[in-house]
Structure 1
Amino acid sequence: MYSTKVLFTVVAVIAGIRAYPTGAPTDVCETMAPGHGAVPQNGQFPYDIVIEKPDLKGGESTTVTIIGKDGHQFRGYMMQARSENKPIGKFTVPDNNSHTLDCGTGTANTVTQSNAKDKNKVTVTWTAPQNFKGKVVFYVTVVKVFDVYWVAHPSSPVKIS
């Protein structure tokens, strides 16, 4: 019994070391994979990506919400708006439950959680680049629990004119 408790404690400590409770690090900017050592889920994505305005002009903003379907919660997330597989635009966050990252040569072009508390909804604001025209897709990685996550799930395209 003692050895089982010790083994469980060691596994929990190792899992905690490899987790990112305060958000994704910048070394996962390209893959958006959390690096938790598990195989990403490829079945039904139990979250919606809700984009307030699917048509924007350069320099305009929209809110983007990740919300759990049927009460599904999540602990972590990472979001990017991409064009030609590169993050573009700028995120702003409404509170200290999320924060931005600078991926590649951009500034605040990625957003992630600031804590590992259960949540069923996160809303952030994204601003399109001033002189950009084209389509953007929001990609979202969602971590339900340490070893259950979906990587780079795409939204519907947003048209920037």
Structure 2
Amino acid sequence: MNQMWLLAVLAALSAMAYGYEKGAPELSCDDMKPRHGADEQVVTNPYYIKLSKNQIRPGGKVNVLLTGRDNFKGFFVQGRVGNKAVGHFDVAPGSKLVNCQESVGNAITHINNSYKSSITLTWNAPKGLNEKVIFWFTVVKEGHLYWVADKSDVLTVAEN
């Protein structure tokens, strides 16, 4: 009986250490923490977001490239105005949409934990939005090695 208990504990700890291989849960929407059971990194993030444009019109689209020095296993990305997730993503290969803050598809995450060198995501601005949007992103290199809620350069969504 002790061996069964030990195996159950080890399985639970293993799941915590390696996190969510199928992507970030809705529970991560506000703080963007992956719930991997380890502390986030405080050293400089080796990953970054590069936007295809720095300005779009309301209702327009922008490509969001997540990349860095090393391959990574997981990601979670939102476009935000302040602390509010806005807009929505198109589903990209190897990803799924997450519904945050009572909106549909305003965040995106991985669907498997295989290594990726980069991923290009397409974000759609809401019609009528005239704001500065910043993409918040969490990147997981390994289950215990991740950076939380880093930020992109500003995307201006405006009529002119």
- TM-score w.r.t. length of structure 1: 0.88
Q: Partners in 2 of 1:85 and 1:32 — Cα distance?
A: 11
**Distance across 2 between alignment mates of 1:65 and 1:159:** 17
Cα offset for 1:48? 2.2
In the alignment, which residue of structure 1 is the partner of 2:67? 67
User: In structure 2, do the counterparts of structure 1 residues 88 and 17 end up closer, same or farther at CA, with 3 Å as the change threshold?
Assistant: same
Identity %: 34
Residues 1:140 and 2:137 are matched in the alignment = yes
Structure 2: which 5+ residue stretches go unaligned?
A: 1-5
State the distance in 1 between where 2:24 and 2:92 align: 18
Give the residue type in structure 2 aligned to 1:63. Answer: N
Cα offset, 1:10, TM superposition: 5.7
1:160 aligns with 2:160: no
How far apart are the structure 2 equivalents of 1:8 and 1:119?
31
Q: Residue by residue, what CA displacement relative to the aligned partner does 1:109-132 show, whole Å, maximum 9, x if unpaired? A: 000000000111011100111000
1:41 and 2:41 correspond: yes
**1:9 positional shift:** 9.8
Q: Which residue of 1 aligns with 2:3?
A: none
Aligned to 1:91: 89
State the distance in 2 between where 1:130 and 1:16 align. 44
- What's the TM-score, normalizing by structure 2? 0.89
Q: Tell me the alpha carbon deviations over residues 93-119 of structure 1, each in whole angstroms, 9 at most, x when there is no partner.
A: 232x10101111211000000000011
Q: Give me the whole-angstrom Cα distance separating, in 2, the residues matched to 1:100 and 1:16.
A: 26
- Root-mean-square deviation over aligned CA pairs: 1.8
Residue deviations 1:122-160, cap 9 Å, x none?
111001110000100000000110110000000011111
Partner of residue 55, structure 2:
55
Per-residue deviation, 1:17: 2.4
Q: Which runs of 5+ in 1 are unaligned?
A: 1-6
Aligned residues: 152
Q: What secondary structure, in the 3-state scheme, does the structure 2 residue paired with 1:155 have?
A: strand
